[in-house]
Amino acid sequence: MKHQSIILLSALLALTACDQNKQTMTPVTTSSKTPVTTAALDSDEAGAYTAQLGLRAYTSYSAAAQKAQALDSRLQSYLYHPNPMSQAEVQQAWRDAYSAYLHTLVFTFLPINDPPDWFKQNIDLQHTLVLLDSWPIEGGYIDYLPGYPFSGIVNDLTLELNEESMLAQHGFSDPSYASLGYHAYEFMLWGADGKRSPRDFFPQENSAPVVIPSEGGHIADDAEQTAGESGDVADSAAAALTVEVQNHNRRRQYTQLISEQVQKHLHRLQRRWEPSNGYYATLVQRSEPQQVVAATLMAAQSLLSEELLGKRLQGNSSEFSQTTSQDIGALTEGIRQLFLASTDDLPSGLSLLLPDDAGAPLQQEWQDRFVAIESALQAWSEEDNQSNRQQCRERLIELMSVVKKTASQLNIPLAGD
């Protein structure tokens, strides 16, 4: 994911340990190219919004972590008794957990610099996001595909399943070769065609002798190997098609490993937004409030232009569950939570910083745009076709115009202005 080149928030610090230790840092400053706000933005209200922003980010990541934990609980129930009902429950838990994660994505577009040592340790923000949300992915890199019963990591008995090996396998030779993250999790629950059988997760030993690794790191059964040695390619293919799904226990172990890693990487980001001593939260709190407001508007614009219009509407991010439209809805919900007043413990939205004469009409316009997006997404969920996607695209472009209008009211220039 690429961020704006303008660095609004930067940290000059001496880092002596990992992200859980205390660091010495200066207040976040801005570059000479940073947009300058005018008196249209009340400094006290901007300060209140800055305090709220960090807390909103922490609350959002905490919710995502809780949903990931709930998903793990459902996974344990599923593995204890794999059946259609427990499968449906864990699949819905995955959808809820991924939506909660997508609510947080707008905060990743805030231009905050990570300490240099985090890059060396591969715990910087961008690397962590790749571990959580790589897509599109090749399902055959992970587990079997129709007609290829021994493909993927699950069936490669030469590969030990543990955290170290899975991190090494993630994006090994191509970004689509993902071994970890929400979409690897999705593939394990739905399978390549969305019709994964609960029987794939029965705790049982193999029914076919799996002894010889074939070319490409896959495993061949003795029927395939014998046919291959005799040169009968047709018989070899037929043998592969008749072999039942194998390596159930490795499949169970691997899915549990994915779940553990998703929770670990989420907690890493959650800690960085802790209100008291989180690295990101501290940088935001030491920033100029007006610049935080400007950074938030730019983050929303980048999320809309780069992530939504530039990527999600062009592809199929949740292809195995066929719920990409819900991905779009979750991402726009993250923007909505930042801009509109809510009834929870954080009642102030960014649109409330607007001058009195412009606040109410713009708030209504925000609400209207989200209603229109929801309607377009409903049509998409019923039928994924180019027309419905185009309608959703138009609604998101309209939302971007409201973001720009809000920035204009606050005298904050955005990219493209």
- The Cα–Cα gap between 372 and 368 comes to 6
pLDDT at position 298? 95
Residue that has been written with the tokens 């592969």 in this structure: 240
Q: Are 53 and 283 in contact (CB under 8 A)?
A: no
Q: Which domain holds residue 124?
A: 13-159+251-409
What 3-state DSSP class applies to 34? coil
- The Cα–Cα gap between 47 and 53 comes to 10
Please indicate, yes or no, if residue 175 is contained in any of the structural domains: no
What 3-state DSSP class applies to 306? helix
DSSP 10: B
CA 349 to mean position of chain CA atoms? 24
Residues in the chain: 417
Residue 291 tokens, joined: 């610049």
Please indicate, yes or no, if residue 279 is contained in any of the structural domains: yes
> Residue 210 belongs to what H/E stretch?
strand 210-213
Please name the residue ranges forming H helices in 182-288.
Answer: 182-190, 222-230, 233-242, 248-272, 279-285
Please indicate, yes or no, if residue 301 is contained in any of the structural domains: yes
Give me the residues paired with residue 212 across strands. Answer: 220
Total domain count for the chain?
Answer: 1
- The Cα–Cα gap between 150 and 144 comes to 6
Please indicate, yes or no, if residue 52 is contained in any of the structural domains: yes
Distances from the Cα of 187 to the Cα of 81, 110, 127, 184, angstroms: 19, 30, 21, 5
Residue 236 tokens, joined: 């070899």
Distances from the Cα of 369 to the Cα of 225, 359, 398, 400, angstroms: 60, 15, 7, 10
Q: Are 130 and 119 in contact (CB under 8 A)?
A: no
Please indicate, yes or no, if residue 197 is contained in any of the structural domains: no
- The Cα–Cα gap between 272 and 361 comes to 36
Distances from the Cα of 86 to the Cα of 99, 193, 245, 360, angstroms: 20, 19, 20, 46
DSSP 385: -
pTM score, two decimals? Answer: 0.85
Residue 113 tokens, joined: 């610099």
Please indicate, yes or no, if residue 241 is contained in any of the structural domains: no
Give me the residues paired with residue 24 across strands. Answer: 14
pLDDT at position 20? 36
Please indicate, yes or no, if residue 136 is contained in any of the structural domains: yes
pLDDT at position 51? 86
Nearest in space to 395 (alpha carbons), one of 415, 369, 413: 369
Q: How many CB atoms lie within 10 A of CB 217?
A: 16
**24-61: string of b/e by CB count within 10 Å (b at 16+)?**
ebeebbbeeebbebeeebbeeebbebbbbbbebbbbbb
pLDDT at position 362? 84
Phi/psi at 25 (5° precision): -145, 155
What 3-state DSSP class applies to 21? coil
Please indicate, yes or no, if residue 255 is contained in any of the structural domains: yes
Q: How do strand 210-213 and strand 13-14 relate by DSSP bridges?
A: unpaired
Spatial CB neighbours of 121, under 8 Å, sequence gap ≥ 6: 18
Distances from the Cα of 417 to the Cα of 110, 176, 334, angstroms: 19, 35, 24
Spans of the chain, pLDDT less than 70: 1-40, 209-242, 341-348, 358, 416-417
- The Cα–Cα gap between 394 and 374 comes to 12
Give me the residues paired with residue 268 across strands. Answer: none
pLDDT at position 82? 98
Spatial CB neighbours of 291, under 8 Å, sequence gap ≥ 6: 8, 9, 28, 30, 34, 37
DSSP 217: S
Spatial CB neighbours of 405, under 8 Å, sequence gap ≥ 6: 362, 365
- The Cα–Cα gap between 212 and 203 comes to 23
Q: Are 137 and 282 in contact (CB under 8 A)?
A: no
End-to-end alpha carbon distance in the chain: 23
Q: How many CB atoms lie within 10 A of CB 67?
A: 21
CATH code at position 370? 1.20.1420.20
